[in-house]
Amino acid sequence: MTQVTDSHTDDHTGHAGHDDHEHHGPPHLAHHFETPEQQLSSAKLGMWVFLATEILMFGGLFCAYSVWRGNHPEVFAYAHTALNKDFGFINTIFLITSSFTMAWAVRTAQLGRTKATFILMGLTLLGGCGFLVVKTFEYKAKWDHHLFVGDLNEHHPDYVAPAEAAHGEADGDHGAVDEHATIEQTAADHGAADHGTSDASVEVAGETTGETAGEIVGGAERTSIALAPDGPAGVVADWMVAPVIAGETADAGHADDHAADGTDEHGAHGEAAADAGHADAHGGGHGDGHSVSKEIVPLKDRQKIHQFFQIYFLMTGLHTFHVLVGMGVIAWLMFCKVPKGIFGPGYYTPIDLVGLYWHLVDLIWIFLFPLLYLIH
Amino acid sequence: MSHTTTPDATDNHNGHKDHEDHDSHHGPHVVPFSMLFTIFAILIVLTFATVGATYVQLGDFNLALALAIAVVKAALVCLYFMHLRWDSPFNGLVLVASFAFVALFIGFALMDSKAYTPEVDAAAVEMIQSDAEAAGQ
Amino acid sequence: MSTTTPPITPPSSPHSPSSSGGGGGEVNYINATKGIKSWMFTVDHKRIGLMYMVGVMSAYGLGGLFAILLRSELWNPEPSFIGGAEAGTTEAMNNAWDFYNQAFTLHGAVMVFLFIIPAIPAILGNMVLPIMLGAKDVAFPRLNLLSFYFWVLGGLFFVWVLSKGIINSFYPGMIEIWGPGGLETGWTFYTPYSTTTQNSAVVAATFGAFILGFSSILTGLNFIATVHMLRPKGMGWFQLPLFLWALYATAIIQILATPVLAITLLLLIAEKTLGVGIFNPALGGDAVLYQHFFWFYSHPAVYIMILPALGIISEVVSVHSRKSIFGYKFIAISSLAIAFLGFLVWGHHMFTSGQSALTNAVFSLITFFVAVPSAIKTFNWIATMYKGDIRITTPFIYILFTIGLFTIGGLTGLFLGCLSTDIHFHDTYFVVAHFHYVMMGSTLFAFLAGVYHWFPKMFGKMYNVFWSNLGGIIAFIGFQLAFFIQFIAGSQGMPRRYASYPEHFEFYHQVSTVGAYTMGAGMIIVLLTWIVALRTGKKAPANPWGGNTLEWHTTSPPPTANFHAEPTAEEPYDYSGWKYVSPEEGWVQRTPEEREAARQQLGTGH
Ligand SMILES: [Cu+2]
């Protein structure tokens, strides 16, 4: 009881309709429990156990993430530049804020302050909405740049470019040796990153259209893959063809040196290609102005670039699904239960439980944000 | 067998015997607003910190730092927003155990894949090279 | 002897067995309310247990049918089920292989996901767990019902896959309309086969298994909360019946492992529908990683299957030996130890799949540690029987079978856990025999023992002892015939999952097939004894065996609220409070003076 009294003293907004010790006439007590405390403790234990299953379920995805990043760090370092760090940051703020309002809502529910609970849960919902809106922009941008999930990702071996991707016609001559085209294009990007885009700014990245060097590189490659023969035996040939092999695989392990070499070798050629490509839009994704070239990915791993996006979509997709579920439950409680004024010191279990769930969703995002958006 | 009931802090069902010390389950534990707000502020600051840390070149340590900040943030959310600090210790054990098993899963899978991936890659490169030679002839 | 006297329920209390034994015309959970809706929307754990029983036994029948079909195919070295094709042609071979692949996959998937995993926890656990705790219900009764309906829904996906497969085989044109049916990936859904195969309903089947996982998780969650929160006053952790320790350990595995299966299956569905390619080497994926995912769940899952069975053994051995369980704490803790070790050994399924040498060695080593808690249990059961007042009852006979099968299965597991011998045995019938002994033999016979042990409590009826024993003996002989010889066939190199085989294996296969039919006959007898007992069985007393766990303190069958008056926890394996009266009345409680005398007579008690 002391805690309740304490909290009253530092209660800034005042309180209404809070009657003490209502839990001895327990209207919400199920027949197989003896006391409301026992019922609440059981419900909380059940919820925590459920949260454990959620953690283990996400744990599978974190395992896939770790195995892929651990074995192919360059793939992640390169591909993550396609993500918009600012969006990730804004969403982190949204979720933390909504977590705070949710924790606050639990507090007001415990104190029986119905109106405050209603408002705070509404704010929590708003936070969730904000998160979803930003996520929609992010997914939309990935869709537009052909960096979506599955074979809708242009790095995917089975990717089929949409028909309107006509600006690749200029490359048609050497389409059959598609990787050759890609390498040139990559070199071009690298050159562009060095020479042309040091002014790329955070503002650009912050726009919904502010995409990154990675996507542009991908964009160039898309056109070339589109022109590649789409045969059953093409799995290997699609991503790695003769001219590349002899020189490159040997130093695949030294990504940095390799990248430098690439620039030297293909410098002139690269700049020419850069004009054909979107050299003006390069860079910027990595707000600090340093752009990551596809060259840092060893050739043996280039067919694996799409794996980053698969993992990104699976993780954020499952997480977003959890946000949606949480918002649904919060909305249901907020509109159907809270206005009835049934929550108070004696009974606040549903608010408490949905709060736990919402905090877990926040907690998972706390890990997702640095792991997906802030790779070094 | 013994009749002694083991001291068991995970049980708060029959009687308030186990929890007299810090949390008598007579009323809900209400977290003061000031405390909630402080935690919120720290979380925001740490979010800025985690972004800021990426501008510092620390090599592999960048990942460790990012994860360390994330763990601190997660711990704050669990302890204060999720009331774990005042809750039954068993609930905390459930949380820690689930993280431990995730770590176990990741640990073994990573250990193994680290060992076999170079072999797989080498085989792939070999295959590519032989394909390339075949194409060249 | 105990240092404190456990509270003794006075014989004159309202729930005294002697005053209400038989329970004939009384209101109990079965007849309390009537009508289909009173069952479909029930939140009574006992009714949910019975509904599970009907469903799970049907699934067992389906899985058993596939087993019989498999063994029939293997009677001859040549392919037998060749459809309309001419014998000896390639088409005949293909037909037989297709059929056989489908049959063993569905046999495995149905048996594992729909029968073995839910059998003991969902049927017997639901039935007796709250009663053993003296509780009115599980902690979350509505979740319990939801878990049942998840099970039904998941089961329907498998029925859907199966029916599609059957219909497609008669009307091939249907494939154009609703896609392929059936399933031939093996129950493990290994990639890349499961992501590339075109003639299996992989998505539907995996989604079914995904839903079944939720059913399993909800049951486990419920049991954990119930054991923690609804124990009666005076029941500490070490007065918990050992069956509940086993169910508790099982629930921990269900909670920690099943979500990984869920995400594995989701990833598989994403691979199949979106072309994600995390596991598909053709897309730069890692097929060995899939096996890590799958076995991180599926090795602990074999302990989901076996741990509850070990719990039943502990109960039945003690009650029917009239002797307090030997080494209670060791058995209790060894359940947790098995659950924990179960998470550290999954790589022993991957010794030959490209797993690295170091990982192989680590997993092999830890695998051997599992033998320690398993052996602790076995030795303690035998020590419990030693000098016990053993009654050769039906449950006890089944439990003897279980211990025998578990021992054989466990010891042959050592050959498979050992790296060098596993290279020779992997993917042979040796493995098939091993896991049938452990998963199927031990779990099935323990499940049957549990049903026979609690049958009087569940239905208030007694069964025919002779036929029940006979059914068990026939099934046991059939089992040994069917599977023991597979160790030999496997060690001589007979690989698993082939519809045809070289002629020199014919003898082994024919013995095995005869065994399968024999076992099927035994199982039919067992099922018939249940049906006959339900219809014409004699009234069961409240306590037919003299057990002292709390379910024997209430009437048979119990009322909806489980007890007529709040029970008091007692030492679960102290039998001094009961005396045998007659088959009709069973065991009734002694007065305190009689009890004290009995204790003197017993001497050291336990
Ligand atoms: Cu195993």
CATH of the domain at C174: 1.20.210.10
Query: Percentage of chain C with pLDDT > 70?
Result: 95
Q: Are C554 and C540 in contact (CB under 8 A)?
A: no
pLDDT confidence bin for A256, thresholds 50/70/90: very low
Query: Could you count the other beta carbons within 10 Å of the beta carbon of residue C224?
Result: 25
pLDDT confidence bin for C536, thresholds 50/70/90: very high
Beta bridge partners of C428: C495
* DSSP helix/strand/coil, C604: coil
pLDDT confidence bin for C229, thresholds 50/70/90: very high
Q: What is the pLDDT of residue C213?
A: 95
Q: In the predicted model, what is the mean pLDDT of residues C107-113?
A: 94
Q: In the predicted model, what is the mean pLDDT of residues A292-320?
A: 84
Q: In the predicted model, what is the mean pLDDT of residues A204-232?
A: 35
Q: How far is the CA of C476 from the centre of ligand 1 (A)?
A: 24
CATH of A34-145+308-373, one of 1.20.120.80, 3.40.50.620, 2.40.110.20, 3.40.50.800: 1.20.120.80
Using alpha carbons, select from C529, C533, C557, C377 the residue that is nearest to residue C454: C557
Q: What is the pLDDT of residue C371?
A: 92
Cβ-nearest to A4 among B23, B30, B124:
B30
Q: How far is the CA of C282 from the centre of ligand 1 (A)?
A: 28
Give the single-character DSSP code of C284.
Answer: T
By mean pLDDT, which of A287-296, A317-326, C33-42 is the weakest? A287-296
**C-alpha dihedral, A342 to A345 to A349 to A353, nearest 10°:** 120
E strand or H helix that includes residue C580: strand C578-582
Q: How far is the CA of C296 from the centre of ligand 1 (A)?
A: 9
User: Looking at CA atoms only, how far is residue A112 from chain C in angstroms?
Assistant: 26
Q: How far is the CA of C310 from the centre of ligand 1 (A)?
A: 17
CA distance C150 to C302: 21
Residue of A100, A235, A239, A303 to mutate when probing chain B, most B C-beta within 10 A = A100
Measured between CA atoms, the residue of chain A closest to residue B131 is: A242
**Domain extents in chain A:** 34-145+308-373, 151-305
CA distance A308 to A156: 11
Checking if the pLDDT of C485 tops 90, the result is yes
CB neighbour list of residue C413: distance below 8 Å, 6 or more residues apart: C367, C371, C434, C438
Q: In the predicted model, what is the mean pLDDT of residues C36-44?
A: 91
Bin A112: left if φ > 0, else alpha if -120 < ψ < 50, else beta.
left
- Provide φ and ψ at C578, rounded to 5°: -125, 145
Q: In the predicted model, what is the mean pLDDT of residues C211-225?
A: 96
Q: What is the pLDDT of residue C172?
A: 80
Q: How far is the CA of C520 from the centre of ligand 1 (A)?
A: 27
User: Looking at CA atoms only, how far is residue B121 from chain C in angstroms?
Assistant: 10
CA distance A91 to C7: 59
Interface of A with C in 9-28 (CB under 8 A): none
Q: What is the pLDDT of residue A232?
A: 36
Q: What is the pLDDT of residue C5?
A: 39
**In this complex, do C239 and B3 lie within 8 Å of one another by their Cβ atoms?**
yes
Residues of A in contact with C343 (CB under 8 A): none
- Who wins on pLDDT, A31 or C364? C364
Interface of B with A in 75-114 (CB under 8 A): 77-78, 80-83, 86-88, 90-91, 94-95, 97-99, 101-102, 105-106, 109-110, 113-114
pTM of the model as a whole:
0.83
Q: In the predicted model, what is the mean pLDDT of residues B105-121?
A: 91
- Who wins on pLDDT, A165 or C251? C251
Q: What per-residue string of b and e applies to C179-196 under the rule 16 or more CB within 10 Å gives b? A: ebbbbbbbbbbbbbebbe
Interface of C with A in 106-135 (CB under 8 A): 130, 135
Residues of A in contact with C138 (CB under 8 A): 32
CA distance C324 to B1: 9
**In this complex, do C260 and B13 lie within 8 Å of one another by their Cβ atoms?**
no
CA distance C444 to C86: 40
Question: Does the CB of C259 have a partner CB in chain A at under 8 Å?
Answer: yes
CA distance C158 to C381: 38
Checking if the pLDDT of C141 tops 80, the result is yes
**In this complex, do B105 and A59 lie within 8 Å of one another by their Cβ atoms?**
yes
Measured between CA atoms, the residue of chain A closest to residue C213 is: A53
Interface of A with C in 211-250 (CB under 8 A): 235
Checking if the pLDDT of A27 tops 60, the result is yes
* Residue range(s) defining the domain that contains residue C80: 42-285
Give the single-character DSSP code of A152.
Answer: G
E strand or H helix that includes residue C581: strand C578-582
CA distance A312 to A324: 18
pLDDT confidence bin for C344, thresholds 50/70/90: very high
Q: How many residues appear in chain C?
A: 606
Q: In the predicted model, what is the mean pLDDT of residues A357-369?
A: 96
The first and second tokens of residue A24, run together, are: 């001895």
Q: How many domains are there within chain C? A: 1
**In this complex, do A314 and C258 lie within 8 Å of one another by their Cβ atoms?**
no
ipTM of the modeled complex: 0.91
Q: In the predicted model, what is the mean pLDDT of residues C208-237?
A: 93
CA distance C401 to C392: 12
Query: Could you count the other beta carbons within 10 Å of the beta carbon of residue A160?
Result: 12
Q: What is the pLDDT of residue A164?
A: 57
- Mean pLDDT computed over every residue of chain C: 90
Query: Percentage of chain C with pLDDT > 90?
Result: 71
The first and second tokens of residue C404, run together, are: 């025998």
Q: What is the pLDDT of residue C10?
A: 39
CA distance C557 to C551: 10
Measured between CA atoms, the residue of chain B closest to residue C324 is: B1
Query: Percentage of chain A with pLDDT > 70?
Result: 58
The first and second tokens of residue B116, run together, are: 């076999």
Checking if the pLDDT of B21 tops 60, the result is no
CA distance C295 to C349: 7
- Who wins on pLDDT, C262 or A34? C262
Q: What is the pLDDT of residue A273?
A: 36
Q: What is the pLDDT of residue A146?
A: 81
- Who wins on pLDDT, A77 or A7? A77
Measured between CA atoms, the residue of chain B closest to residue C325 is: B1
* Contacting subunits of B (3+ beta carbon pairs below 8 A): A, C
> Which residues surround the ion ligand 1 when the cut-off is CB under 5 Å?
C 299
By mean pLDDT, which of A173-177, C49-53, C321-325 is the weakest? A173-177
Residues of A in contact with B101 (CB under 8 A): 56, 59
Measured between CA atoms, the residue of chain B closest to residue C362 is: B108
Beta-carbon-side half-sphere exposure of residue C370 (alpha carbons within 13 Å): 28
Distances C505 to B116, C361, C427, C437 between C-alpha atoms, Å: 37, 33, 16, 21
Checking if the pLDDT of A281 tops 70, the result is no
CB neighbour list of residue B5: distance below 8 Å, 6 or more residues apart: C234, C236, C237, C238, C239
**In this complex, do C571 and B1 lie within 8 Å of one another by their Cβ atoms?**
yes
Checking if the pLDDT of C373 tops 50, the result is yes
**In this complex, do C343 and B10 lie within 8 Å of one another by their Cβ atoms?**
no
Question: Does the CB of A151 have a partner CB in chain C at under 8 Å?
Answer: yes
Interface contacts (A, B; CB < 8 Å) = 198
Residue of C252, C276, C293, C296 to mutate when probing chain A, most A C-beta within 10 A = C276
**C-alpha dihedral, C199 to C203 to C205 to C208, nearest 10°:** -170
Cβ-nearest to A32 among C135, C217, C255:
C135
- Residue carrying the six token digits 């065991």: C587
Beta bridge partners of A147: A153
- Residue carrying the six token digits 């490169």: B125
Residues of C in contact with A58 (CB under 8 A): 263
By mean pLDDT, which of A290-299, C233-242, C306-315, C506-515 is the weakest? A290-299
- Who wins on pLDDT, C8 or C561? C561
Q: What per-residue string of b and e applies to A202-216 under the rule 16 or more CB within 10 Å gives b? A: eebbbeeebbbbbbb
Q: In the predicted model, what is the mean pLDDT of residues B37-51?
A: 95
CA distance C100 to A235: 32
Residues of C in contact with A151 (CB under 8 A): 274-275
Checking if the pLDDT of B58 tops 60, the result is yes
By mean pLDDT, which of A326-340, C162-176, C431-445, C507-521 is the weakest? C162-176
Measured between CA atoms, the residue of chain A closest to residue C257 is: A56
- Mean pLDDT computed over every residue of chain A: 68
- Residue carrying the six token digits 């048609």: A172
Query: Percentage of chain A with pLDDT > 90?
Result: 38
Q: In the predicted model, what is the mean pLDDT of residues B21-46?
A: 80
CA distance B63 to A216: 26
CA distance A184 to B88: 61
**In this complex, do B90 and C238 lie within 8 Å of one another by their Cβ atoms?**
no
Residues of C in contact with B5 (CB under 8 A): 234, 236-239
**In this complex, do B116 and C343 lie within 8 Å of one another by their Cβ atoms?**
no
Question: Does the CB of A268 have a partner CB in chain C at under 8 Å?
Answer: no
The first and second tokens of residue C132, run together, are: 């053993």
- Who wins on pLDDT, B108 or A302? B108
Checking if the pLDDT of A169 tops 70, the result is no
Q: In the predicted model, what is the mean pLDDT of residues C104-129?
A: 94
Using alpha carbons, select from A132, A159, A185, A173 the residue that is nearest to residue A319: A132
**In this complex, do C238 and B5 lie within 8 Å of one another by their Cβ atoms?**
yes
Question: Does the CB of C356 have a partner CB in chain A at under 8 Å?
Answer: no
Residues of C in contact with B104 (CB under 8 A): 343-344
* DSSP helix/strand/coil, A162: coil
- Provide φ and ψ at A317, rounded to 5°: -65, -50
**In this complex, do A359 and B125 lie within 8 Å of one another by their Cβ atoms?**
no
Q: How far is the CA of B75 from the centre of ligand 1 (A)?
A: 34
Q: In the predicted model, what is the mean pLDDT of residues A195-224?
A: 35
Bin A282: left if φ > 0, else alpha if -120 < ψ < 50, else beta.
beta
